Amino acid sequence: MSAVQNVLVVGGGLAGAGVAVRLARAGVAVDLVEVKPDVHALGSGITLQGNALRELDGLGVWEAARERGYAFDVTGFRAPDPVGTELFAVPDARTGGPDYPAVMGMSRPELAQLLHDRAAEVGVKLRYATTTTDLAQDADGVDVTFSDGSSGRYDLVVGADGVRSWTRRMLGIELETRSTGMGIWRSFGPRPASVTRTDLYYGGPCYIAGYCPTGEDSLYAYLVEDAQDRSTLGPEEQLATMRELSQAYHGPWDEIRETLTDPSKVNYTWFETHVLPAPWNRGRVVLIGDAAHTCPPTIAQGGAQALEDAAVLGQLLVERDALDADLWDAFHDRRVERARTVVEASNQLAQWQLDHVQGDIPSLMRTVAQLVSQPA
Ligand SMILES: Cc1cc2nc3c(=O)[nH]c(=O)nc-3n(C[C@H](O)[C@H](O)[C@H](O)COP(=O)(O)OP(=O)(O)OC[C@H]3O[C@@H](n4cnc5c(N)ncnc54)[C@H](O)[C@@H]3O)c2cc1C
C-alpha cells in the first residue's frame, strides 16, 4: 500500500504534472489545480538536458516528446563579430545516459500539453483557472478550500506552484528570492535551416546571445543583459529593444532577427534564485520544483531538477507505506544537496559573467554533469 491515498497538487508545471502522473498511475487519487486557464498559457521554449529526458521517459511521454522536440548533442560558440564567426563546438554531456540525446529543445506549451494529457490518461483530476485559498492541517490530513468555493481533505498537499509559491507563503516559510543581476529577452519563432543546435555568443552588448531549436519549425532565441526595469515598455517597444540588442549578433542571428516581428512572442524577465534548506515539508504539505529551489538558466537544469523532485517524491510515496520521518529523510537526502549544487553552480556561472571573470567553466560544468548523470 502507498503512503498516501489522496493528494492535492498545486501547480501544473513540470514538478506538479510530474508528481501527479507518478502518483495517479500507482492508484493514488490526485487532484491538480492550475491557476492558469489552460496549458497553452505556460510559456515559450525550453532546453531539456538528458537527465530531464530520462525523467520524461519515466513519465511515459518520452517518445511523444522526441517526435515534437529537436534533439542535438553539440553546443556551438560564436563570436559577436560582423559574421558571427564560429569559434568552436563542444559535445554536450549525455546526462540521461546513452539512450537519450544530450539536449533537446521543445516548445513549453507542447511539453505541458503532453504532460497534462498523460496526467488525464492516468486519472489525475485537472482543474484549470482554480487555486487554493486556505490550508489547515492536523495529524491525519489537510483541509483545503478552493477559489471556486469548493473544498476537500487530502492525505498530502504538494506545493508545486513555482518561484512565488502561494503554498510556501501559506506555510509561513520565509525565503528570500533574489535577483542575480541579469535579465533575459526571449522570443519564440520559426527555425531558420541554419539553426540545428544551440549556439552561444559571449560578449557584445549582452552577456550572452543564444538560440535553441525547439522543433522542425520553431526555435527560441535569447539575449541576456544587466537586469533593469523594462516594465514601462509596451509590447512594440519590447520588440524594438530586442531587435536593437540583437543587431550586434550575426550568422544565424541575421535570419532570426528578420523573424522578430510579433510583439506577443517577445518576453523579458529577470534571473532569480533561492534554495530552501531542508526540510521542504511542513507536516503533510511539501514544496517541490521552483517553489523550493530556483536558479538562473545558465546550465538549463531548472526543469530537470523539478522533474527529479517529482520522480523521487512520487517513488517514495508509492513504495513506502507510511508518510513518516523516514520517508521525509529519504526525500531530503536524495534531493536537497543535489538541487543546491545545481543552483549554486548556475549562480556561479552568472556571477563570473557579471564580474567579467574567466572562471573555470569546464570544471564547473563537468562537476554538474557528473552529479546529474547519476539517477536522482
Ligand atoms: C528565463 C528562464 C528560462 C529558463 N530556461 C530553462 C531551460 O531552458 N531549461 C530548464 O530546464 N529550465 C529553465 N528554466 C527553469 C524552469 O523553467 C523551471 O525551473 C521549471 O519550470 C520549474 O518547474 P515548476 O513546475 O517547479 O514551476 P513552474 O514551471 O513555475 O510551474 C508552476 C505552476 O504553478 C502554477 N501556479 C502558480 N501559483 C499557483 C497557485 N496559487 N495555484 C495554482 N497554480 C499555481 C503556475 O501557473 C505554473 O503553471 C528557465 C527559467 C527562466 C526564468
**Strand 74-78 with 199-203, pairing:** parallel
Q: Is residue 231 part of a domain?
A: no
Residue written as grid cell 522536440: 69
- Nearest alpha carbon to residue 10 among 130, 114, 152, 109: 130
* pLDDT classification of 1: cutoffs 50, 70, 90: confident
Which cell goes with 351? 556571477
pLDDT digit string (tens) for 156-201?
A: 999 999 999 999 999 999 999 999 999 999 999 999 999 999 999 9
Residue 279, domain extent: 6-69+106-177+274-373
Q: Is residue 194 part of a domain?
A: no
Q: How far is CA 215 from CA 15, 66, 218, 220, in A?
A: 23, 9, 5, 10
Please state, rounded to an integer, the average pLDDT across all residues of the chain: 96
Residues with Cβ within 6 A of ligand 1? Answer: 10-16, 33-36, 42, 46-47, 52, 131-132, 160-162, 166, 184, 269, 289-290, 297, 300-304, 306
CATH code, domain carrying 63? 3.50.50.60
Question: Beta partners for 71?
Answer: 104
Q: What is the pLDDT of residue 43?
A: 67
- Look at the chain and report how many structural domains it folds into: 1
- How many percent of the chain have pLDDT more than 90? 97
pLDDT digits (tens, 9 = 90+) for 237-271: 999 999 999 999 999 999 999 999 999 999 999 99
CA-CA-CA-CA torsion sign (167, 323, 302, 340)? positive
In a domain, 188, yes or no: no
Measured in Å, residue 194 CA sits from the centre of ligand 1 at: 29
Q: How far apart are the C-alpha atoms of 12 and 109, rounded to whole Å?
A: 12
| Residue-wise pLDDT tens digits, 108-126 | 999 999 999 999 999 999 9
The residue whose C-alpha atom lies closest to atom 38 belonging to ligand 1 is 161
Check the CA dihedral 29-34-35-36 and report its sign.
negative
- In tens, the pLDDT along 150-168 reads 999 999 999 999 999 999 9
Q: What residues form DSSP beta bridges with 286?
A: 158, 281
Joined grid coordinates for residue 112: 505541458
What residue owns the CA closest to ligand 1's atom 53? 271
Which of ligand 1's atoms lies nearest the C-alpha of 186?
1
Ligand 1, atom nearest to 269 Cα: 1
Query: Is the pTM higher than 0.95?
Result: yes
Q: How far apart are CA 273 and CA 103, in angstroms?
A: 23
Look at residue 304 and tell me if it is in a domain: yes
**Residue 178 · residue 307 · CB < 8 Å:** no
**pLDDT at 334 > cutoff 70:** yes
Q: So what's the pLDDT on residue 146?
A: 98
Q: What letters, b where the CB count within 10 A reaches 16 and e where it falls short, cover 88-107?
A: eeeebbbbbeeebbbbbbbb
When pLDDT is averaged across residues 31-38 and rounded to a whole number, the result is 95
Instruction: Tell me the CA–centroid distance for residue 183 and ligand 1, in Å.
Output: 16
| 340-367 average pLDDT score | 95
Is residue 244 in some structural domain? no
Q: pLDDT tens digits for 40-53?
A: 765 689 999 999 99
Q: Averaged over 204-231, what is the pLDDT?
A: 97
Atom of ligand 1 nearest to the CA of 291: 26
**Residue 98 located in a structural domain:** no
**How remote is the CA of residue 88 from the centroid of ligand 1, in Å?**
32
Q: Does 219 map to a domain?
A: no
Residue with cell 489537510: 142
Can you tell me whether residue 143 is helix, strand or coil?
strand
Please tell me the predicted confidence (pLDDT) of residue 330.
Answer: 98
Note whether residue 332 is domain-resident.
yes
Question: Could you give the percent of the chain with pLDDT greater than 70?
Answer: 99
- Tell me, in angstroms, the distance from the centre of ligand 1 to residue 13's CA: 6
**Ligand 1 center to 162 CA (angstroms):** 5
Beta strands in 141-259 (DSSP E): 142-146, 151-154, 156-159, 178-189, 199-203, 206-215, 218-226
Report CA(84)–ligand 1 centroid distance (Å): 32
What separation in Å is there between the alpha carbon of 85 and the centre of ligand 1? Answer: 34
Atom 31 (ligand 1) nearest CA: 13
* Closest atom of ligand 1 relative to the 302 alpha carbon: 19
Least Cα distance to 204 among 61, 353, 20, 80 occurs for 80
Q: How far apart are CA 243 and CA 230, in angstroms?
A: 15
